[in-house]
Every structure is written in structure tokens, then in C-alpha cells.
């Protein structure tokens, strides 16, 4: 049973969003004013609990991902003052493990009991459930991260306002989320397997993500769209079965080639530059600084 449906845009509050033909399975609607894409149907708590109880944990962690984590942490160093970092929806704590090795005081949030147990065993200070700013001191964090999480929530303003409350002035938010305008979505059309209900409820583009953070007093430091997932395209067309994040996936094989050969690295960097220029990369990556 579902509670109700949006009769307005959850991003800009404009009334009368338009249902998108071909995306009925995910109840997608588009705002006529700001072009935000979202699931019109709002799942109730029991629907979400039923879905996430069966939510698997992918234990594969590529050495390349660890390397990317440290490159990201290098970029966070100029923001280190309190030494505290918060990862909202931290999974089983892969990123925070690496941050802790570099002396950060690490905090995370998650929903499932299993994720809480694993992260706590790793020495991560955890809070269960949605981000609750009342559980932390205000303006106490240097950096807040959220990897592939914001698309799961249908009240984006609430979480970004919480970020603003918990982040010190001059602190940084780093966020990643699927790009609805990506080349992969254009290629696969309404078969694009990123669109899933009730798992994903909001779908961002560079324009709408920028709008959201600026609305809450953040400056845009960096915004790019990178990558194209061959694995997701194949899975969406039912011609591959390996998970996009797995040792056997085409994506991981391509990453290994790009990492080990200089000309492949140069090709990857060039491709990402073009994807960002035309805003067509699969993944939106944003850095936003609190004013």
C-alpha cells in the first residue's frame, strides 16, 4: 500500500508535474519548470522496508577503487580542520576505512542491522536510519560524503539542509549520483536498469543537482559527469549477467586496462572530459562548499 503521490515537484515545488511516457513502471514524472525527474508515487515505510531487507551487499572492492578513494582523500586534505568526516549511507564502510587510515575521525549512517554491525566492527562511529542532525554537534564536520545515495530519497531538501547544519562554514560536501542525461540512458532508453522503483526515487542532472545545493547556501566547487558503463548497457539489454561492480564485469576489465596502460589512461581522461563537457557521463560527481 502506498501513501500518496506528488502533485508538485519535490525540488522546486512547481505544481502539476507531467508523467513521462514509457517510464510507467517507475512512476516517473518531470517538472515543467525545472525539468527534475522523480517518482511521482511515494512508497510507504512498509514498502521500503520490504525492499531493503533483501538488499544485497556487494563485497567486491577493486584495488582501483581504493586508489580512487585516496585520490579523493588527497583533495579533502585542504578542508581538514576538525578532522571529522561523515559518510551518509556508508554501506559496509569501505571508504571510511581508508579515511581512518589517514587519521580522520570517521562517522557513518546506514539502515540495515548487518551494515551497522560490519561498520561498528571496523571502528566506525555509526548511527542507524536517516541522517538525524540532532545526534551530532552542529557545524562539527569538515567533510560530508554521500556515494550513490541521494537518488534513494524523495525529500532532497531535507537531507541537504541537514548537511548544511552539520558542516562547518567552508566545509565540503562530496556527492555522487546517476546522471539521468547520461549517454547510457540515451542508448538504452526505458530499459536503463538504473531506473528502479522503489529503490531509486529521484534522478538528477548537472542542472538540478546544482540548483539543489545552491538553494541551501553552497557554492559549486566542482561538477562533472564521468564514465559510461558497458556492463549496465549490456545488462539493460539482457545480453550480460555480471553485476556492474564485480570482478567479472566488462567495466572492471576496462578499468584494469586503463590503469595499467598509459595510452588507455589518456584515452579515459579524454573521454571523461568530453562526457563532462556535454554532460553525458553516467555518474554525476559534485563538490560543494558551504558558504
Please give the full DSSP string across 161-195, using - where no structure is assigned: HHHHHHEEEEEEEEEEEEBTT-HHHHHHGGG-TT-
Which pLDDT does position 3 carry in this prediction?
58
Asked if residues 37 and 46 have their Cβ atoms less than 8 Å apart, the reply is no
Q: What is the pLDDT of residues 21-54, one digit of tens each?
A: 999 999 999 999 999 999 999 998 778 777 776 6
Q: What is the pLDDT of residues 102-154, one digit of tens each?
A: 999 999 999 888 899 999 999 999 999 999 999 999 999 999 999 999 999 99
Does residue 208 carry a pLDDT above 80? yes
Mapped onto helix, strand or coil, the DSSP state of residue 214 is: helix
Q: Taking Cα atoms as reference points, which of 94, 99, 160, 90 lies closest to residue 126?
A: 90
Does residue 57 carry a pLDDT above 50? yes
SS3 content of the chain, % helix, strand, coil (to 5): 40, 25, 35
Task: List b or e across 27-39, with b for residues whose CB sees 16 or more CB atoms inside 10 angstroms.
Answer: bbbbbeebbbbbb
Mapped onto helix, strand or coil, the DSSP state of residue 85 is: strand
244: DSSP letter:
S
Angstrom distance (rounded) from CA 149 to CA 53: 17
Q: What percent of the chain has pLDDT over 90?
A: 81
Which pLDDT does position 2 carry in this prediction?
47
Q: What is the pLDDT of residues 248-289, one digit of tens each?
A: 788 888 899 889 899 989 999 999 999 999 999 999 999 999
CA angle 116, 117, 118 (to 5 degrees): 95
Does residue 58 carry a pLDDT above 90? no
CA 134 distance to own-chain centroid: 23
Around Cβ 146, how many Cβ atoms within 10 Å?
Answer: 23
Mapped onto helix, strand or coil, the DSSP state of residue 121 is: helix
Around Cβ 269, how many Cβ atoms within 10 Å?
Answer: 12
**Domains in the chain with CATH codes:** 62-290 (3.40.50.150)
Amino acid at each position: 500500500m502506498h501513501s500518496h503521490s506528488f502533485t508538485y515537484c519535490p525540488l522546486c515545488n512547481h505544481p502539476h508535474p507531467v508523467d513521462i511516457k514509457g517510464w510507467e513502471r517507475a512512476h516517473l514524472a518531470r517538472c515543467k519548470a525545472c525539468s527534475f525527474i522523480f517518482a511521482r508515487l511515494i512508497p510507504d515505510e512498509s514498502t521500503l522496508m520490504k525492499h531493503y531487507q533483501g538488499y544485497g551487499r556487494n563485497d567486491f572492492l577493486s584495488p582501483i577503487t581504493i586508489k580512487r578513494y585516496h585520490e579523493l582523500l588527497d583533495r579533502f586534505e585542504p578542508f581538514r580542520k576538525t578532522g571529522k568526516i561523515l559518510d551518509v549511507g556508508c554501506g559496509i564502510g569501505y571508504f571510511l576505512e581508508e579515511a581512518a587510515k589517514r587519521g580522520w575521525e570517521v562517522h557513518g549512517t546506514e539502515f540495515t542491522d548487518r551494515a551497522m554491525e560490519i561498520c561498528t566492527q571496523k571502528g566506525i562511529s555509526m548511527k542507524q536510519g536517516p541522517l538525524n542532525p540532532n545526534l551530532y554537534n552542529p557545524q562539527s564536520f569538515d567533510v560530508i560524503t554521500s556515494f550513490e545515495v541521494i537518488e534513494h530519497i524523495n525529500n532532497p531538501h531535507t537531507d541537504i539542509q541537514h548537511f548544511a547544519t552539520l558542516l562547518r562554514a567552508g566545509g565540503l560536501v562530496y556527492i555522487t549520483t546517476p546522471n539521468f542525461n547520461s549517454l547510457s540512458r540515451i542508448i538504452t532508453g526505458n530499459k536503463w536498469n538504473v531506473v528502479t522503483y522503489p529503490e531509486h526515487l529521484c534522478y538528477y542532472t548537472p542542472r538540478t543537482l546544482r540548483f539543489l545545493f545552491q538553494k541551501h547556501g553552497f557554492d559549486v566547487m566542482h561538477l562533472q559527469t564521468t564514465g559510461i558503463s558497458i556492463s549496465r548497457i549490456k545488462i539493460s539489454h539482457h545480453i550480460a549477467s555480471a553485476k556492474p561492480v564485480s570482478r567479472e564485469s566488462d567495466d572492471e576489465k576496462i578499468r584494469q586496462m586503463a590503469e595499467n596502460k598509459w595510452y588507455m589512461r589518456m584515452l579515459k581522461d579524454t573521454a571523461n572530459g568530453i562526457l563532462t563537457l556535454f554532460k553525458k557521463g553516467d555518474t554525476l560527481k559534485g563538490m560543494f562548499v558551504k558558504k
